[in-house]
Amino acid sequence: MIWTAALALLMAVLPGTASAVVGVAGGGGARVVAEENVGPNLVDLTVSSPALGRTAKVRLLIPDGWNEQRRGESWPVLYLLHGCCDTYDSWTRQTDVETLPQLRHVLVVMTSASCS
């Protein structure tokens, strides 16, 4: 179920479209209800997810060129899930993931997955 929500979230996350609504399996829709820039390439989203039955936090490490995205342009995506008893921001709080040059052209999605 978290993958369905994450996929719907990824499809909804386009520059300047925090209110985008995307259909998910089963006819529901995930909706970004808040967006906050928390660093040079970091964006926190709050997503209302019918699939989860609640809102969920997601941190994005956006690739170089994200804000200049052209129609049809895409990036590889890396999903990072935290371990037990942690949160969506654990990767940026406890590692240097945002400074890795190998990820400058990758969209990194860090979801809140309860006890993943």
pLDDT digit string, tens, across residues 39-80: 999 999 999 999 889 999 999 999 998 888 888 888 999 999
Helix (H, G, I), strand (E, B) or coil at 39: strand
Q: Go through 28-43 and write b for each residue having 16 or more CB atoms within 10 A of its CB, e for each that does not.
A: bbbbbeebeeeeebbb
Tell me, what's the pLDDT at 99? 94
Task: Specify the pTM.
Answer: 0.73
For residue 18, CA distances in Å to 15, 43, 65, 82, 115 come to: 8, 11, 18, 24, 27
Q: Using the predicted structure, report yes or no on whether residue 114 has a pLDDT greater than 80.
A: no
Structure tokens at 82: 């935290």
Is residue 60 within 8 A of residue 107, CB to CB? The reply is: yes
Q: How many angstroms separate the CA atoms of 43 and 31, rounded?
A: 16
Q: Is the dihedral of CA 51, 109, 34, 92 positive or negative?
A: positive
Tell me, what's the pLDDT at 79? 95
Tell me, what's the pLDDT at 112? 83
91 vs 8, residue with greater confidence = 91
- Specify burial of residue 115 (Cβ count, 10 A radius: 0-12, 13-18, 19+): exposed
